[in-house]
Structure formats: structure tokens, C-alpha cells
Amino acid sequence: MKKWLFAAGLGLAMAASASVQAADSIAVVNMGNLFQQVAQSTGVSKTLENEFKGRASELQNMEGDLQSKMQRLQRDGSTMKAADRSKAEKDLMAQRQQFQTKAQAFEQDRQRRSNEERGKLVTRIQSAVKKVADDKGIDVVLDANTVAYAGSSVKDITSDVLKQVK
């Protein structure tokens, strides 16, 4: 019986020793903060804004024209001939459909490009995390936002990764 207790105690001591050693090679990084800072410093949002500026203004012009035609139809519709009012309503419906199609395509293209740029940033950040972890001899890096608790022995390498990305 003493042998079993001794073996169990030795096993617990080894497990505790292994967890202490593992804690030395674990670090956390705040990915959300990194992503935000890198996105701001690289000007991704400005790039996308400039890329889609022309199409956005075209859609705004179409929307303004559509609204003015709707107001005119509401204002003058009761005094128009039935055939003229019907033609104006059909034109308005066609223009509204065209606007909705263009707006949907615009939103899809903008979302696709945004996802592409985010993907590029995430790849850059992940490469920087790997390099910093390799340089510091860290085996495991966790996102600080997903860790419930990290003791003082766990290193936060967010600032080192940010320097590496920039």
C-alpha cells in the first residue's frame, strides 16, 4: 500500500513539475487589440473607402433621383392621366429594382474586399506571433480574450507582436 501511495505522490509531483515548466512556455496575445491597431496603422479602411467611393456616390445619386421621382409621382399623380401615371409607376419600379440590384452588388463586393483585407491582416499578425514566439522560446500562444485566467507567470507578448508587425 505504501508503494502505491509513494507512486501516486511521485506522479502528482511530476505532473505539478510539468505544469510549472509548461507555464514558462505559454504566452497570451490580445488579438483584437492587435488587429485594431494594425488596421489603423495600415489605413485599410481608408483604402477600402477610396476604392468604393465612386460606386457609393453613384448609388447615392440614384437614390436621390429615385426619391425625387417618387415625390413627384405622389404630388402630381392624382392630376396625371391614367396612362402617364401608370408609365411613371412602371419606370419608378424598374428604377427601384435597378437600384436595389446595384446596391446589393455593391454591398457584396465591399464585404468581399473587406474580408480579403482582414485575411491579409490576420496572416501578417499570425506570422508576427509565430516569429515572436519562436524568438522567445514560447510553445503555446493563446488569445488573451479567450483565457479566463492567466497568472503572473504567463507572458503577454502583444506589444512585441505589434512591434514585429509594424
| pLDDT of residue 158 exceeding 80 | yes
**Integer CA distances (angstroms), 152 to 24, 41, 84, 138, in order:** 11, 30, 77, 15
The domain locations on the chain are 27-164
pLDDT band at 8 (very low <50, low <70, confident <90, very high): very low
More confident residue, 67 or 4: 67
Instruction: Give 91-139 as a DSSP string.
Output: HHHHHHHHHHHHHHHHHHHHHHHHHHHHHHHHHHHHHHHHHHHHHHT-S
Q: At what angle do helices 31-42 and 82-136 cross, to 10 degrees?
A: 110
Q: 82: which residues sit within 8 A by CB, 6+ positions away?
A: none
Q: What is the pLDDT of residue 5?
A: 38
CA dist., res. 39 & res. 144, Å (int): 19
User: For the residues 139-154, what does the mean pLDDT come to?
Assistant: 86
Beta strands (DSSP E) in the chain are 26-29, 140-143, 155-156
Q: What is the pLDDT of residue 9?
A: 43
CA dist., res. 136 & res. 142, Å (int): 15
More confident residue, 7 or 64: 64
Worst-scoring range by mean pLDDT, 6-15, 18-27, 32-41? 6-15
Q: What is the pLDDT of residue 93?
A: 93
pLDDT band at 17 (very low <50, low <70, confident <90, very high): very low
Q: Specify burial of residue 17 (Cβ count, 10 A radius: 0-12, 13-18, 19+).
A: exposed
Q: From the options 3.20.20.80, 1.20.140.160, 3.30.910.20, 3.40.50.2300, give the CATH code of 27-164.
A: 3.30.910.20
User: For the residues 127-142, what does the mean pLDDT come to?
Assistant: 92
C-alpha cell at 29: 496575445
